[in-house]
Amino acid sequence: MKITKEIIESHGLKDEEYKNIQKLLKRNPNFLELGIFSAMWNEHCSYKSSRIHLKKLPTKGKQVIQGPGENAGVIDIGDNDAIVFKIESHNHPSYIEPYQGAATGVGGILRDVFTMGARPIALLNSIHFGSPSHPKTKSLLNGVVSGIGGYGNCIGIPTVAGETKFHETYNENILVNAMAVGHVKKNKIFYSKAKGVNKAVVYVGSKTGRDGIHGASMASAEFDDNSDEKKPTVQVGDPFTEKLLLEACLELMKDESIISIQDMGAAGLTSSSVEMASKGSLGIELELDKVPCREENMTPYEMMLSESQERMLIVLEDGKEEQAKKIFSKWDLDFVIIGKTTNSKNLTLKFKKQKIAEIPIDALASNAPIYDRKWIKKKLPQTNFKLKRLKKIKIEDALIKILSSPNHSNKSWVTNQYDQMVMCDTAQKSGSDAAIIRIHNKDKAIAVSVDSSANYCKSHPITGGKQIVCENWRNLISVGAKPIAITNCLNFGNPENKEIMGEFAECTEGMKEACEFLNYPVVSGNVSFYNGTNKKNIFPTPVIGGIGLINKLSKPLGHNLKKEGSYIIQIGKTFGHLGQSCFLKENYSITEGKPPEINLLNEKNNGKIVLDLINKDLVLSCHDISDGGLITCLSEMAMSTSLGVKIEKPKKLRDLSEYFFGEDQGRYVLEIEKQNIKKTEDLLRNNSIYFENIGITQKKYFEIVGEMKIDTNALFKINNQWYNNY
């Protein structure tokens, strides 16, 4: 087949990229080779626009065993235990086919984790939909939630935490980010780097079909009005087969048979074989006739680019074939030697006894393009609204408006569709600041949380980038965990647009500052560009997934109030920042202004002291203050208990809306038993921490003295309406 301009374009390759291919090969590529280049050089696989910015992020630390560059990041949690985790996007496929898109997103990220030898112990997700009134939102919400549940429930890994948000910026491009967390013995971690020549390259798992061909390229382009036609590029998931693959792989990993292992994710057989060879500075030769195929007459092009799910590539130690094969046939899975490692440093493909492609591995991997795209800085936006000029609104009414809004409503409609309890180590389920998962058969546990704040990032990317790292850090602190490391999923628009590239550069800069200051390294992650339709880009939406450690797990605190008559302490200073607040958005439809400032020093000090108080058993319940401010935080602590609070108005004269709804950062609310109040206050004073004793807990009523008094149960009902009525 002659390679025409149209063919090159349809492979998503730019003119200069094609010329580069000719130069690297010293000839014209054939059609198959062109397909392979396009699969490896697209944005999704090559990180060509993001790489130079990602380099800034701190990736090392005392507890980091493996940073970015492997299937997932690995951290040390002591006693030969390690945690493997990563987050990944499946945005484009989920918009086209929500159930399968979301399901295979979960399946893909699980494989990244168990490829490294870890048994997955928790799943999390961050899902963003368009406005609830958009005609597609309801079916997308339904499809995505049941897809996430369908996969995780069947494979039997608890889905323990996440966020579900709505905003019109995602009307034509939803976000589906899935995170998986696994546990492994530190001395049993598996990597993707191949070693040794003439070692068997083994294909295991499902058969290869025609699904998902060019999926990664699809995810590297904007949508247009014809995006529905892209349905065939979406993969189809089979969680049952993945469960078998998981058990078979973990069984094989018990001994020393595996030299290297890599899952076939984006760009399938192509990227898995190239990555293994590239990391080991080797070549790889595949005989495509041997690839197990689901359909008849599949071409080499289809085999190399299919993104059929639940497949792995393994480089096996000599003499281990029989034993390994036995394990896979026990689990009724394909196990076929399809090639070998070579010292040629080429990807060599054979079909029907003929050589049909030969490409230097370096050309595909290390010589993939890297772009320093143009970008511009964003100025700190001015705040134009004057609070005094806005129509006065009662505190109670404003609170009710927030608690009944889609973004703040109780999400049990979503989370009840996920099995959160299977594996019996979920000590704290979703609905709290972070979920807590016990390490099986141990006293220790990890806390996990995923967070994003797209409106802050849109308004001022550097601040937003910092804020989201801090919020995630705070969420782990709130459940008594010491934050260790994060993974990030960076969802942005078209990087060829300099404003969007600026959002990316500045968000990562903000993240870098916060991660460095908090000693909170990034160990894995994923970038998703081209989130937009018809040139309309989404808000910059970096999502952070954090892991913290709890050395000795006791009954989790939770954020629910525990005892009548205890004190309510607010840690951190309230300035009353309302720019970008949900108070303005929900009550006045005002979305302007700058995001709240981040003071990293206060953030760190406040967090440390809260963790210290929790560890000293001085805290009955704890919740961080985030969007919606102090009063929303307090109401969340009261709802679903039979208790309420009695809060005094601030003594100094100030605007009550600012005080109760301001979204100043670095703040927490603690419930402290009467007998512990002196000890707590002394500790806070001795550490020069700003705090206020703002009230007490009481039976039944949520009260702000002289301002509002409402039955907690009524608040609970208000908070539980939206999903059930949608």
Partner 1 sequence: MKSSVIVFPGSNCDRDIAVALEKLQFKNQMVWHKDTSLPKSDLIVIPGGFSFGDYLRSGAIAGKSLIIDEVIKAANSGCLILGICNGFQILTETGLLKGTLLRNKNLRFINRDVNIKVMNNKTKFSSKYELNQVLKINIAHNEGNYFTSNQHLEELKKDNLIAFKYCDEKGNTNEKSNPNGALENIAGIYNSKKNILGMMPHPERMIDDIISNTDGVNLFSSLLN
Q: Are 445 and 437 in contact (CB under 8 A)?
A: yes
Answer for which of 197, 370, 393, 421 binds partner 1 (CB under 8 A) is: 421
424 binds partner 1 (CB under 8 A): yes
If the CB atoms of residues 128 and 438 are measured against partner 1, the closer one turns out to be 438
Residue 613, CA atoms < 13 Å, CB-side half-sphere? 36
If the CB atoms of residues 395 and 422 are measured against partner 1, the closer one turns out to be 422
Of 694, 699, 696, the residue nearest 644 (C-alpha): 699
- φ and ψ of 62, to 5 deg: -55, -35
C-alpha span between 131 and 112 (Å, rounded): 32
C-alpha span between 660 and 477 (Å, rounded): 22
153 binds partner 1 (CB under 8 A): yes
If the CB atoms of residues 155 and 179 are measured against partner 1, the closer one turns out to be 155
Among positions 227-246, residues that touch partner 1 (CB under 8 A) are 238-241, 243-244
Minimum gap (Å) between residue 156 Cβ and partner 1: 2
DSSP letters of 461-473? HHHHHHHHHHHHH
Answer for which of 72, 180, 423, 523 binds partner 1 (CB under 8 A) is: 423
161 binds partner 1 (CB under 8 A): no
> Is 577 a residue of the active site?
no
The two beta strands, 522-528 and 567-571, are unpaired
Minimum gap (Å) between residue 155 Cβ and partner 1: 7
Of 37, 61, 46, the residue nearest 523 (C-alpha): 61
Q: Are 195 and 260 in contact (CB under 8 A)?
A: yes
Q: Which amino acid is at 613?
A: L
Answer for which of 296, 332, 688, 706 binds partner 1 (CB under 8 A) is: 332
DSSP letters of 345-401? -EEEEEETTEEEEEEEHHHHTTTS--------PPPPPPP---GGGSPP--HHHHHHH
- φ and ψ of 594, to 5 deg: -95, 160
717 binds partner 1 (CB under 8 A): no
Answer for which of 114, 328, 331, 529 binds partner 1 (CB under 8 A) is: 331
425 binds partner 1 (CB under 8 A): yes
Q: Which amino acid is at 708?
A: M
To which H or E segment does residue 671 belong?
A: strand 668-672
Between 96 and 135, how does the x/- string for binding to partner 1 read (CB under 8 A)? ----------------------------------------
186 binds partner 1 (CB under 8 A): no
Identify the three-state secondary structure at position 285: strand
C-alpha span between 538 and 532 (Å, rounded): 6
Stretch that binds partner 1, among 6-14, 147-155, 335-343, 612-620 (CB under 8 A): 147-155
419 binds partner 1 (CB under 8 A): yes
Among positions 493-552, residues that touch partner 1 (CB under 8 A) are none
438 binds partner 1 (CB under 8 A): yes
Paired tokens of 152: 């995780």
Q: Are 426 and 160 in contact (CB under 8 A)?
A: yes
Q: Say which of 11, 90, 183, 623 is annotated catalytic.
A: 90
If the CB atoms of residues 153 and 227 are measured against partner 1, the closer one turns out to be 153
553 binds partner 1 (CB under 8 A): yes
Q: Are 394 and 657 in contact (CB under 8 A)?
A: no
If the CB atoms of residues 424 and 653 are measured against partner 1, the closer one turns out to be 424
How many Cβ atoms sit within 10 Å of the Cβ of residue 509? 17
155 binds partner 1 (CB under 8 A): yes
Minimum gap (Å) between residue 254 Cβ and partner 1: 16
The distance from CA 195 to its chain's CA centroid, rounded to whole angstroms, is 31
Minimum gap (Å) between residue 319 Cβ and partner 1: 26
If the CB atoms of residues 331 and 583 are measured against partner 1, the closer one turns out to be 331
Answer for which of 89, 91, 420, 531 binds partner 1 (CB under 8 A) is: 420
| Residues facing 125 on adjacent strands | 162, 178
Of 167, 159, 99, the residue nearest 133 (C-alpha): 167
Minimum gap (Å) between residue 416 Cβ and partner 1: 5
577-598 burial, b if ≥16 CB within 10 A, otherwise e? bbbbbbbbbbbeebeebbbbbb
Answer for which of 337, 422, 600, 683 binds partner 1 (CB under 8 A) is: 422
Instruction: Give the neighbor-by-neighbor strand order of the sheet with 701-704.
Output: 621-624, 668-672, 567-571, 691-699, 643-647, 701-704, 708-711
Minimum gap (Å) between residue 107 Cβ and partner 1: 13
Answer for which of 40, 45, 427, 669 binds partner 1 (CB under 8 A) is: 427
Minimum gap (Å) between residue 105 Cβ and partner 1: 17
329 binds partner 1 (CB under 8 A): no
Minimum gap (Å) between residue 413 Cβ and partner 1: 9
Number of residues that bind partner 1 (CB under 8 A): 33
Answer for which of 154, 236, 250, 600 binds partner 1 (CB under 8 A) is: 154
Q: Are 151 and 239 in contact (CB under 8 A)?
A: yes
Paired tokens of 567: 């004190």
If the CB atoms of residues 247 and 516 are measured against partner 1, the closer one turns out to be 247
C-alpha span between 673 and 557 (Å, rounded): 13
Q: Are 173 and 531 in contact (CB under 8 A)?
A: yes
156 binds partner 1 (CB under 8 A): yes
If the CB atoms of residues 442 and 594 are measured against partner 1, the closer one turns out to be 442
If the CB atoms of residues 187 and 441 are measured against partner 1, the closer one turns out to be 441
Stretch that binds partner 1, among 153-161, 169-177, 191-199, 447-455 (CB under 8 A): 153-161
If the CB atoms of residues 237 and 280 are measured against partner 1, the closer one turns out to be 237
Cβ within 8 Å of residue 10, ≥6 positions away: none
> Is 90 a residue of the active site?
yes
Stretch that binds partner 1, among 191-199, 251-259, 272-280, 421-429 (CB under 8 A): 421-429
Stretch that binds partner 1, among 62-70, 208-216, 420-428, 574-582 (CB under 8 A): 420-428
Paired tokens of 4: 């025409």
310 binds partner 1 (CB under 8 A): no
Minimum gap (Å) between residue 222 Cβ and partner 1: 33
Among positions 377-406, residues that touch partner 1 (CB under 8 A) are none
If the CB atoms of residues 195 and 325 are measured against partner 1, the closer one turns out to be 325
Minimum gap (Å) between residue 577 Cβ and partner 1: 37
Of 50, 343, 51, 38, the residue nearest 214 (C-alpha): 38
Answer for which of 416, 551, 642, 687 binds partner 1 (CB under 8 A) is: 416
How many Cβ atoms sit within 10 Å of the Cβ of residue 340? 18
If the CB atoms of residues 371 and 413 are measured against partner 1, the closer one turns out to be 413
Q: Say which of 11, 44, 92, 214 is annotated catalytic.
A: 44
C-alpha span between 415 and 630 (Å, rounded): 25
Minimum gap (Å) between residue 584 Cβ and partner 1: 35
Residue 69, CA atoms < 13 Å, CB-side half-sphere? 13
Alpha-carbon Rg for the chain, nearest whole angstrom, is 26
Among positions 242-271, residues that touch partner 1 (CB under 8 A) are 243-244
C-alpha span between 557 and 428 (Å, rounded): 9
Minimum gap (Å) between residue 159 Cβ and partner 1: 9
If the CB atoms of residues 419 and 471 are measured against partner 1, the closer one turns out to be 419
Stretch that binds partner 1, among 151-159, 383-391, 658-666, 706-714 (CB under 8 A): 151-159
C-alpha span between 444 and 566 (Å, rounded): 29
Residues found near partner 1 in the complex (CB under 8 A): 146, 149-150, 153-156, 238-241, 243-244, 331-332, 412, 416-427, 438, 553-556
Active site residues: 44, 90
